[in-house]
Structure 1
């Protein structure tokens, strides 16, 4: 893929506590204005990739090798001061839980205007006008009232919209969305996904969308990277992955999901044989890499 805003090449990460491999040669590309879904069950490594991008891996986890190229520069080679500037201005995060992500003791106005004043050097009045515009962009009714509110006074869907507004506030080139719809009911989830898609189209922002839900992938992602225990199992366009999957694990995951066109059909767990074969292949690959 050409014209990538983000390119990860052969990324390996290891836990210094027990030597466990967290990421195994992960490679992926994201183009400007594109949404890449990082999909996998718990422990697959999708959140570790997101944390590596944001520079917030636990101290006990180290990147052993690989490159993280953002906008033509390797993040692993940049000084901390420059990384802090990039993470504030050009890479933003939409976290999973809006209630814990927002400061409970500060009104929404302060939480939206502080970044604009600090990073964009806007005077208070201009920052406030921009914050109101952002709330309108994420389709929040009564933005003046919301600006005066504390997080606990808003619904879960409204809090998530505030976080989306905050992520787009500085017009970053890349947004990491860490399962941002997990805590929302299905109706609100659909609204939030549509909103993110509209904002992305308007701002031409690239998004890395971390999720375990293939239904969410179908609604918002252009491409998908499927992970298992820190290793890429399959990657391709969303249509390719969902309509003509190639790997047995991908096929099994799709089959395991609920079918809304067949409400009476039972769920099909991923066969143990597929999991065993994947783990055996990983062990063999680890041996070849470090043998």
Structure 2
């Protein structure tokens, strides 16, 4: 049996800003090396909170009250800051949601890619520049020399997202957290980016935790899926099993609520209020 790269066990957290309201409720999930796991749910379900907890960037208003996050058998929540910093950006990397705000607008793309390579891999300036150029070619940027010299505002949203994907995979991380990386992109570019992430993931053998609110994206790129509601895991399993034979009424309702490309004239079906009522009762929300 393949050892888990990432194991989240009994993770619970509260928001002090909301008077101690639970935001994660005994969450558990695992991720194997080379696996793409979707972490899916509505806004406020807790998926980004889990991602931030793994990355060690939770806001001060969110407090972990129980559970573990183990990466390669090491507890991330109990690591001292120097050890955690040595892992982040090298063994664990992030593809952020918004390419517009995630790049330094005052520095050229080549310099920003080279910085990470020099810091995390100890490369010389020249070696980092050569590697950065190759990375841009790897993410299928047609004119990498021009992009190296460009500032972020001179690139399209899709190009900026390709740069961020290159940065995430630059140091061959074992785990990439992709935090809704296609949200700001149009549908055509979104499909290209999903194919690119999958291709890079397979080439590097990386485990990917893919945060999204879209079950359609999960169907395209993920091997397994964890579905959340109000900080609680509602259903999980292989993508095909969950989407074709869902066990929970909420999962079935979400699938029914999505657009059907085989029936373009069919209307959308909202999740029935009775399903939400049962969910709240099951979780213990008044």
- Please tell me the TM-score bracket, short chain as reference: over 0.9
Match of 1:242, SS?
helix
State how far apart, in whole Å, the 1-side matches of 2:16 and 2:181 are.
29
How far the C-alpha of 1:2 sits from its partner, in A, is: 4.2
Conservation of the 8 A alpha-carbon contact between 2:89 and 2:168: no
Match of 2:237, SS?
strand
Match of 1:266, SS?
coil
1:119 aligned residue:
120
1:6 aligned residue:
6
The answer to whether 1:71 aligns with 2:75 is no
1:251 aligned residue:
252
State how far apart, in whole Å, the 2-side matches of 1:88 and 1:138 are.
18
State how far apart, in whole Å, the 2-side matches of 1:16 and 1:97 are.
26
Report which of the two has the higher share of helix: 1
1:157-236 correspondence runs (5 A): 157-236=158-237
Name the count of aligned residue pairs: 285
State how far apart, in whole Å, the 1-side matches of 2:253 and 2:239 are.
16
1:274 aligned residue:
275
How far the C-alpha of 1:27 sits from its partner, in A, is: 0.2
State how far apart, in whole Å, the 1-side matches of 2:198 and 2:69 are.
25
Aligned Cα root-mean-square deviation (Å): 1.1
The answer to whether 1:151 aligns with 2:152 is yes
How far the C-alpha of 1:258 sits from its partner, in A, is: 0.4
1:265 aligned residue:
266
Conservation of the 8 A alpha-carbon contact between 2:36 and 2:221: yes
State how far apart, in whole Å, the 2-side matches of 1:83 and 1:211 are.
25
How far the C-alpha of 1:247 sits from its partner, in A, is: 0.3
How far the C-alpha of 1:88 sits from its partner, in A, is: 2.2
2:102 aligned residue:
101
2:23 aligned residue:
22
How far the C-alpha of 1:16 sits from its partner, in A, is: 2.0
Match of 2:44, SS?
coil
Conservation of the 8 A alpha-carbon contact between 2:135 and 2:170: yes
Match of 2:134, SS?
helix
Give the TM-score normalised by the residue count of structure 2. Answer: 0.98
Give the TM-score normalised by the residue count of structure 1. Answer: 0.96
State how far apart, in whole Å, the 2-side matches of 1:178 and 1:98 are.
11
State how far apart, in whole Å, the 2-side matches of 1:60 and 1:245 are.
35
